[in-house]
Amino acid sequence: MNEPVTVPRRRLLSRLLGMLALVASPVLRPAAAQPRATLEPTPRDAEGPFYPTRIPVEADADLTRVAGRSAAAQGTPLALSGRVLAIDGKPLAAAKLELWQCDALGRYHHVDGDPGTRDENFQGYGVTSTDSDGRFAFRTIRPVPYGGRPPHLHFKLAHARAQPLTTQIYPRGESTERGFGFGLSAAETRSRLEFVLKPANAGTLTASYDFVLRSV
């Protein structure tokens, strides 16, 4: 008659401990997806009375050069770049941005009425679209004050999956010196529409600003 096979005590204890660990351990589940941070939409500001009544034939992203003219625009060149984002932080590709502003002499172009003395080498209006990462870039001039208004840049933005936005952005520290925009008085709102000017090469400036659009 065959003798029963016995399991060595050490091996048996090891198996028992393993079974107990499995029973005691919690059931592992995949970690719940963390919700994406919600960004505050860029505040709106008035369009102002100087949106172009006619869009110029040349309406690219470089406002400092006009086709057929050899001289550059008066004023300090400004390279402005940034991103257009949804409120969940995702970049919005193919968003359309329109930028317009007065020239270094305080005159808007492409509007009705007597333009007065103006810089014919300044385009006055430009348009571009964001790339696949939601990035955009304009070359323009540092905005200047006029008629009691602080320096500012006008923007209109549009995207198929977002609400359109019309606003103005201001160099930091200058929005309160001559009075702010149209009906925006809260300091927190003002600060969210400001951008920082930084010196670059050859007397030019750079700045960055990210726009956040509400979802449709």
Number of domains composing the chain: 1
Asked whether 171 and 143 are in contact (CB, 8 A), the reply is yes
> Six-digit token pair at 121?
């080498």
Asked whether 166 and 30 are in contact (CB, 8 A), the reply is no
Residue with tokens 């400001």, as numbered in its chain:
194
Q: Is residue 177 part of a domain?
A: yes
> Six-digit token pair at 135?
């990035």
Q: What is the pLDDT along the chain (216 residues), one digit of tens a residue?
A: 555 545 455 554 455 445 544 444 444 444 555 555 699 999 998 888 789 998 988 899 999 999 999 999 999 999 999 999 999 999 999 999 999 999 999 999 998 877 789 999 999 999 999 999 999 999 999 999 988 889 999 999 999 999 999 999 999 988 764 444 545 556 778 889 999 999 998 899 999 999 999 999
Q: Is residue 140 part of a domain?
A: yes
Q: Is residue 58 part of a domain?
A: no
Does residue 155 sit in helix, strand or coil? strand
CA separation, residue 117 to residues 57, 72, 102 (Å):
21, 17, 12
Range of the domain at 201: 77-213
Contacts of 129 (CB under 8 A, 6+ apart): 94, 95, 96, 97, 136
Stated pTM of the model: 0.80
Q: Is residue 120 part of a domain?
A: yes
CATH number at residue 140: 2.60.130.10
List the one residue out of 71, 78, 57 whose CA is nearest residue 169: 78
Q: Is residue 93 part of a domain?
A: yes
Q: Is residue 132 part of a domain?
A: yes
Q: Is residue 23 part of a domain?
A: no
Q: Is residue 107 part of a domain?
A: yes
C-alpha–C-alpha distance, residues 5 and 32, integer Å: 48
